[in-house]
């Protein structure tokens, strides 16, 4: 392995950015490909697939055999709001493999008693997200219903290109939210990425059912990353 490739790979992994180490198993030469880098032909198609699935494996291309070792950051879910939905969502997300953090400055809501074994921040999103910025391997669900708490986090999620952004509230509530986000400087295209009403439409009624709908929509968004942009049908 090329020492420079190893250093580059570790730097990408530390920064929570996806990278693939491509090794020619014939001559041992290797290189790092970052998400979004253009690679032509069959090798490029295999690399794009590995970025989506996160699965490593060998591929035959250009008469050679390449090994693609896909290093994807651990996806995670940040929830704004220590509410009833979040109480159900926390254990579900953990089981599904999406570590979850909850942010809510209202100390009456964000109590360890209500959220055992959960990374819980009884602080404003501004303060937490400054320490632990959002990124494209983070999903954000805003469920407080309170613009003072939700709006900043939603704008930050749009700017960080979070792979999933959902916001609780009716269409009417969301229309008002769109106006506020425009005023904060978000573009209409950015705002169109927000899932509102939140969650896959499974007819969810109870807080726990809404949690299922949010988690399902998060997984769908993660597993179909990049499909829209490239116009490819899986």
Question: 38 φ, ψ to 5°?
Answer: -90, 120
Contacting range for another protein; rule: CB under 8 A; set: 1-9, 83-91, 147-155, 226-234: 1-9
CA–CA separation, 52 vs 41, rounded Å? 17
- Rank residues 54 and 197 by Cβ distance to another protein and give the closer one: 54
- Rank residues 6 and 232 by Cβ distance to another protein and give the closer one: 6
Among 23, 144, 217, 218, binds another protein (CB under 8 A): 23
Cβ neighbours, 10 Å, residue 9: 19
- Rank residues 78 and 213 by Cβ distance to another protein and give the closer one: 78
Question: 79 φ, ψ to 5°?
Answer: -110, 125
| Least Cβ distance, residue 55 to another protein (angstroms) | 7
Is 13 a binder of another protein (CB under 8 A)? yes
End-to-end CA distance of the chain: 32
Q: Give the SS3 label for residue 211.
A: helix
For 234, the token pair is 């899986």
> Which residue in 224, 198, 223 sits closest to 212, CA to CA?
198
Is 219 a binder of another protein (CB under 8 A)? no
How many residues bind another protein (CB under 8 A)? The answer is: 27
Is 67 a binder of another protein (CB under 8 A)? yes
Question: 73 φ, ψ to 5°?
Answer: -60, 155
Is 133 a binder of another protein (CB under 8 A)? no
Contacting range for another protein; rule: CB under 8 A; set: 91-99, 150-158, 164-172, 222-230: 91-99
Is 171 a binder of another protein (CB under 8 A)? no
Q: Give the SS3 label for residue 87.
A: helix
CA–CA separation, 173 vs 145, rounded Å? 9
Q: Give the SS3 label for residue 214.
A: helix
Is 63 a binder of another protein (CB under 8 A)? no
Contacting range for another protein; rule: CB under 8 A; set: 23-31, 148-156, 174-182, 210-218: 23-31
- Rank residues 30 and 150 by Cβ distance to another protein and give the closer one: 30
Pairing of strands 30-34, 19-24: antiparallel
| Least Cβ distance, residue 206 to another protein (angstroms) | 27
| Binding footprint of another protein on the chain (CB under 8 A) | 1-3, 6-7, 9-10, 13-14, 16, 23, 25, 28, 55-58, 67, 69-70, 73-76, 94, 97, 99
């Amino acid at each position: 392995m090329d020492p420079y490739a190893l250093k580059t790979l570790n730097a990408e992994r530390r920064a929570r950015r996806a990278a693939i180490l491509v090794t020619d198993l014939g001559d041992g030469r290797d290189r790092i490909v970052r998400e979004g880098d253009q690679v032509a032909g069959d090798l490029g198609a295999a690399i794009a697939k590995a970025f989506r699935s996160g699965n490593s494996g060998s591929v035959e291309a250009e008469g050679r055999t390449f090994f693609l070792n896909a290093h994807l950051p651990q996806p995670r879910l940040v929830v704004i709001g220590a509410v009833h939905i979040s109480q159900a969502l926390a254990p579900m997300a953990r089981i599904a493999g999406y570590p979850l953090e909850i942010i809510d400055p209202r100390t009456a809501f964000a109590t360890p008693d209500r959220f055992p074994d959960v990374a819980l921040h009884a602080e404003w999103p501004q303060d937490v997200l400054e320490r632990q910025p959002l990124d494209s391997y983070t999903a954000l669900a805003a469920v407080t219903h309170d613009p003072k708490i939700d709006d900043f986090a939603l704008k930050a999620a749009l700017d960080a290109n979070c792979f999933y952004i959902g916001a609780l509230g009716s269409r009417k509530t969301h229309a008002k939210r769109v106006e506020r986000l425009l005023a904060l400087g978000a573009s209409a295209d950015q705002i169109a990425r927000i899932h509102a009403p939140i969650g896959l439409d499974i007819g969810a009624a109870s807080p726990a059912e809404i949690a299922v709908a949010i988690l399902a929509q998060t997984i769908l968004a993660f597993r179909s990353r990049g499909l829209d942009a490239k116009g490819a049908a899986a």
